[in-house]
């Protein structure tokens, strides 16, 4: 069976680890892979350079399978090793297609797509190379092997190879005859270096080495990194010295562990009060003005902006939909929100007066990255909202607002979403301040309410019992709908996405008012429908949603109504009533999403699914 890279029918989103030091490389690589398993879990493998040979094991399925294979057939002791955990959308995730790929003295792991793999493979096969997999990656192993066999050192060989590759790649290689060196190269695919005491690490994400060191080096685009026992050397693809940036990771191993929770996702839901508080921290100066230190775009430039375009994927896109309501209301700047994978293909109208805001938890989502590149080619200014220090998206943007959620390891985004909302609100308020659209006391009032959010979220978490009971009641339902209006609509979309991706239940979110234009035909006896009711007393929004609930209830739906405490009218229409704290309309998503996250997590648990690693998904989607 062949693969079809050019059509985009095959791609990897993988986790990579490399270790060079004086400890057992296998242990360190395996523990690093376990921390990266959220990136992909179709297969895993390791390769070591020991006693002048490459020794490797690779296995289809989760890392536990690989560990079992190594127990059955142990690997020798070594202090240098590389490892890989893979996610594939097409092409069988077989043992043979797993990484590492080995060509005589060379072993490589690869993340990305080598788009011109077909002609390279034909050329290598004509020259006698024997391929053992169907992957695009294996060409890199044979090309490197041929270069070192021709006399090149591993670094030069890597430079020769990358000059022949098209596409996106992180490539990491070891050479059996050079057991004191790991060489890696990156283009459009993540890689960071960890610097320990006499030992060095390479990984797709700092989580892989956080238990050994919190000192890291960001790698730029098109760079080659060489780890030796004496240190780290980074150069460009042409061999010139490269600029790098060292950074210290501000979270520790504890943050990357489950700490008694059954799932990372549940732990991350419960971390939201902290994550929201941390994201708000240090945003005011002594005069009570909002300061966003990271915004390197001058107030004059921000005053010239005449349009905002928010670009993101998945949950981050829904955060963007909420942001539109707040930003337009507070700044009166027209704001569009677009799915990143659609953005550049429709030739969007953007120019130097457009502010593009990208939202990405991982900072590595390829669709979003490509949208940024397109926007910058049109000379638009780009602000990234991101949770990952040193990731590609903030590096390639003009400015960044970091969310301080700590590592999000569960594949389903939770604290990522709520902290993205906070960052969007901060950006909206900052723009309003800079452009004189709001008085200082008005901004302070919203900030004051934002500061109350951690305790409100905590209150919801402390009172989760009814949600867990509801999950038990609805766990076998084949289909569940979510309704919302205004900012409740993106909450409905996000609630439905959580349920789809974790519980594998058909779920859809609709704008409550749109239901009567078609989707109401789906309503049948006992169909569960979650409805997010806006806070009352401020405009007609709430009353309209109450009417929408009455419409579906009249047709037999089972209603689960999320409304603020004391809304007795909403309660009347509810088969189940979930009390939300009293919050102003625009900020309500910060609390309304929490019960929906808990519900999806619990239903998936009750259905026996792997909540942290749902089928077919990966945490960071680093190819388009
Ligand atoms: O890392 P990003 O925020 O860029 O990721 C965007 C989406 O891939 C992500 O939100 C995805 O939809 C999650 N699985 C949602 O839970």
Q: Which atom of ligand 1 is nearest to the CA of 411?
A: 14
- CB-based contacts of 235, cutoff 8 Å, min separation 6: 155, 223, 224, 226, 241, 242
pLDDT at 621 over 90: no
Provide the pLDDT for residue 401: 94
SS3 68: helix
Decide if pLDDT at 12 tops 70: no
Residue 538 pLDDT grade (very low, low, confident, very high; cuts 50, 70, 90):
low
Going from the Cα of 259 to the center of ligand 1, the distance in angstroms, rounded, reads 24
Q: Are 387 and 362 in contact (CB under 8 A)?
A: yes
**DSSP letter, residue 320:** H
Categorize the per-residue pLDDT at 209 as very low, low, confident or very high, splitting at 50, 70 and 90: very high
Ligand 1 mean position to 316 CA, how many Å? 6
pLDDT, tens digit, 9 for 90 and up, residues 268-309: 999 999 999 999 998 988 888 898 877 788 999 999 999 999
- Is residue 354 very low, low, confident or very high in pLDDT (cuts 50, 70, 90)? very high
Report the distance separating Cα 412 and Cα 342, nearest Å.
22
Nearest CA to ligand 1 atom 7: 314
Q: List, by residue number, the catalytic residues.
A: 14, 619
Q: How confident is the model at residue 624 (pLDDT cuts 50, 70, 90)?
A: confident
In terms of Cβ atoms closer than 10 Å to its own Cβ (0-12, 13-18, 19+), residue 190 is: buried
At residue 471, the pLDDT reads 97
Give residue 153's pLDDT: 97
Q: What's the whole-number mean pLDDT along residues 363-382?
A: 94
Which one of 204, 340, 361, 507 would you pick to mutate in the ligand 1 pocket, going by the greatest count of ligand atoms within 8 A of its CB?
A: 361
- Give the pLDDT band (50/70/90) at residue 623: low
- Quick one: which atom of ligand 1 is closest to the CA of 315? 10
Calpha distance 434→134 (Å, rounded): 55
pLDDT at residue 186 above 70?
yes
Mean pLDDT, residues 11-25 taken together: 87
- For residue 6, pLDDT beyond 70: no
Q: How far is the CA of 528 from the centre of ligand 1 (A)?
A: 26
Q: How far is the CA of 526 from the centre of ligand 1 (A)?
A: 31
Q: What is the pLDDT of residue 289?
A: 87
For residue 5, the model assigns a pLDDT of 35
What integer is the mean pLDDT of 28-54? 93
Of all residues in the chain, the percent with pLDDT exceeding 70 is: 96
* Atom 14 of ligand 1: nearest residue by CA position: 412
Which residue CA neighbors atom 2 of ligand 1 most closely? 360
Percentage of the chain lying above the pLDDT 90 cut: 80
Q: Which residue has the tokens 């038990």?
A: 472
For ligand 1, atom 11: residue with the closest CA: 314
**Residue 112 pLDDT class (50, 70, 90 cuts):** confident
Closest atom of ligand 1 to 412 CA is 16
**Ligand 1 probe mutation, 315, 343, 409, most atoms within 8 A of CB:** 315
Mean local confidence (pLDDT), 123-150: 96
- Cα(389) to ligand 1 centroid in Å equals 17
Question: Cα separation of 482 and 490, whole Å?
Answer: 10
Query: Which residue puts its alpha carbon closest to atom 9 of ligand 1?
Result: 314
Residue with tokens 């579906």, as numbered in its chain: 552
Instruction: Give the pLDDT band of residue 617 (cuts 50, 70, 90).
Output: confident
For residue 495, report the distance from its CA to the centre of ligand 1, in Å.
14
> DSSP label at 284?
B
Supply the pLDDT for residue 8. Answer: 31
Pocket probe mutation, ligand 1, options 358, 413, 423, max atoms within 8 Å of Cβ: 413
Protein residue with its CA nearest to atom 4 in ligand 1: 360
Confidence class for position 425, pLDDT limits 50, 70, 90: very high
605 CA → ligand 1 middle, Å: 20
Residues with C-beta less than 6 Å from any ligand 1 atom? 313-316, 360-362, 365, 368, 411-413, 416, 501, 617, 620-621
Indicate if the pLDDT at residue 417 is higher than 70.
yes
How far is the C-alpha of 575 from the C-alpha of 528, rounded, in Å? 10
Residue with the bigger pLDDT between 86 and 100: it is 100
Read off the pTM: 0.82
Of ligand 1's listed atoms, the one at least distance from the Cα of 361 is 3
Report the greatest alpha carbon distance in the chain.
80
| Cα 519 off chain centre by | 31
Residue 404, pLDDT above cutoff 60:
yes
Range with the lowest mean pLDDT among 58-67, 141-150, 340-349? 340-349
Q: How many CB atoms lie within 10 A of CB 297?
A: 16
Q: Which residues contact 392 (CB under 8 A, 6 or more apart)?
A: 188, 190, 221, 363, 364, 369
Any idea what the Cα angle at residue 550 is, between residues 548 and 555, rounded to 5°? 105
Kindly tell me if the per-residue pLDDT of 2 is higher than 60. Answer: no
236, pLDDT greater than 90: yes
What spacing in Å lies between the alpha carbon of 49 and ligand 1's midpoint?
36
Structure tokens at 358: 């990208």
3-state secondary structure string across 98-116: CCCEEECCEEEEEEEEECC
The C-alpha atoms of residue 48 and residue 39 are separated, in whole angstroms, by: 22
pLDDT at position 91 is 56
Confidence of residue 573 (pLDDT cuts 50, 70, 90): very high
Give the side-chain half-sphere CA count within 13 A for 105: 18
> How confident is the model at residue 92, as a pLDDT?
73
3-state secondary structure of 350: coil
Measured by CA distance, the residue closest to atom 12 of ligand 1 is 314
The contacts of residue 101 (CB under 8 Å, 6+ apart) are 107, 108, 109, 110, 132, 133, 135, 137, 138, 140, 141
C-alpha 504/C-alpha 310 separation (Å) is: 29
Strand residue runs (E) in 458-522: 479-484, 506-511
Q: Which residue has the higher pLDDT, 293 or 35?
A: 35
Site to substitute for ligand 1 among 38, 264, 316, most atoms within 8 A of C-beta: 316
343 — pLDDT class (breaks 50, 70, 90): very high
Residue closest to 314 by CA, chosen among 394, 249, 408: 408
Average pLDDT of the chain, as a whole number: 92
Interval 319-348 mean pLDDT: 95
Q: State how far the Cα of 507 lies from the Cα of 499, in Å rounded to an integer.
A: 7
């Amino acid at each position: 069976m062949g693969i079809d890279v050019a059509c985009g029918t095959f791609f990897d989103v993988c986790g990579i680890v490399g270790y060079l030091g004086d400890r057992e490389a296998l242990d360190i690589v395996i523990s690093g892979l376990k921390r990266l398993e959220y990136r992909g879990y179709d297969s895993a493998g390791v390769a070591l350079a020991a006693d002048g040979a490459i020794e490797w094991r690779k296995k289809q399925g989760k890392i536990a399978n690989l560990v079992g294979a190594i127990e059955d057939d142990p690997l020798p002791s070594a202090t240098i090793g590389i490892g890989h955990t893979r996610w594939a959308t097409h092409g069988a995730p077989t043992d043979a297609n797993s990484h590492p790929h080995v060509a005589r003295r060379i072993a490589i792991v690869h993340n990305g797509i080598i788009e011109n793999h077909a002609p390279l493979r034909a050329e290598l096969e004509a020259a006698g190379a024997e391929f053992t997999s169907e992957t695009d990656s294996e060409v890199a192993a044979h090309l490197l092997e041929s270069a070192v066999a021709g006399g090149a050192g591993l670094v030069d060989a890597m430079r020769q190879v990358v000059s022949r590759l098209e596409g996106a790649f992180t490539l990491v290689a070891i050479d059996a005859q050079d057991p004191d060196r790991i060489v890696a190269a990156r283009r459009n695919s993540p890689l960071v270096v960890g610097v320990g005491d006499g030992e060095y690490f390479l990984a797709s994400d700092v989580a892989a080495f956080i238990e050994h060191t919190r000192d890291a080096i960001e790698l730029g685009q098109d760079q080659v990194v060489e780890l030796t026992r004496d240190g780290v050397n980074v150069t460009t693809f042409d061999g010139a010295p490269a600029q790098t940036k060292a950074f210290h990771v501000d979270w520790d191993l504890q943050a990357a562990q489950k700490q008694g929770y059954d799932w990372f996702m549940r732990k991350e839901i419960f971390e939201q009060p902290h994550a929201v508080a941390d994201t708000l921290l240090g945003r005011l100066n002594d005069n009570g003005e909002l300061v966003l230190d990271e915004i390197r775009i001058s107030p004059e430039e921000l005053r010239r902006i005449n349009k905002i375009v928010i670009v993101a994927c998945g949950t981050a896109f829904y955060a963007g939909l909420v942001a539109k309501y707040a930003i337009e209301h507070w700044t009166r700047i027209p704001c569009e929100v677009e799915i990143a994978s659609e953005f550049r293909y429709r030739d969007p109208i953007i120019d130097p007066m457009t502010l593009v805001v990208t939202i990405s938890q991982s900072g590595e989502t390829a669709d979003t990255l490509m949208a940024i590149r397109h926007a910058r080619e049109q000379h638009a200014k780009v602000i990234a909202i991101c949770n990952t220090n040193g990731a590609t998206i903030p590096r390639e943007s003009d400015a960044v607002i970091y969310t301080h959620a700590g590592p999000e390891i569960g594949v389903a985004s939770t604290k990522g979403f709520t902290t993205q909302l906070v960052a969007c609100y901060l950006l909206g308020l900052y723009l309003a301040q800079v452009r004189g659209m709001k008085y200082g006391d008005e901004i302070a009032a919203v900030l004051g309410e934002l500061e109350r959010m951690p305790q409100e979220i905590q209150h919801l978490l402390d009172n989760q019992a009814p949600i867990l009971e509801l999950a038990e009641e609805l766990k076998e339902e084949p289909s569940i709908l979510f309704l919302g209006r205004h900012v409740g609509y993106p909450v409905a979309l996000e609630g439905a996405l959580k349920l789809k991706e974790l519980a594998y239940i058909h779920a859809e979110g609709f704008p409550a008012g749109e239901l009567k234009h078609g989707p109401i035909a789906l309503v049948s006896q006992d169909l569960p429908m979650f409805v997010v009711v806006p806070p009352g007393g401020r405009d007609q929004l709430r009353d309209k949603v109450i009417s929408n609930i009455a419409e579906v209830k009249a047709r037999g739906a089972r209603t689960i109504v999320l409304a603020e405490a004391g809304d007795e009218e909403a309660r009347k229409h509810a088969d189940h009533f979930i009390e939300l704290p009293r919050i102003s309309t625009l900020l309500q998503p910060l609390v309304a999403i929490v019960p929906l996250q808990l519900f999806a997590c619990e239903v998936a648990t009750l259905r026996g699914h792997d909540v942290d690693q749902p089928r077919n998904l990966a945490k960071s989607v680093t190819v388009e």
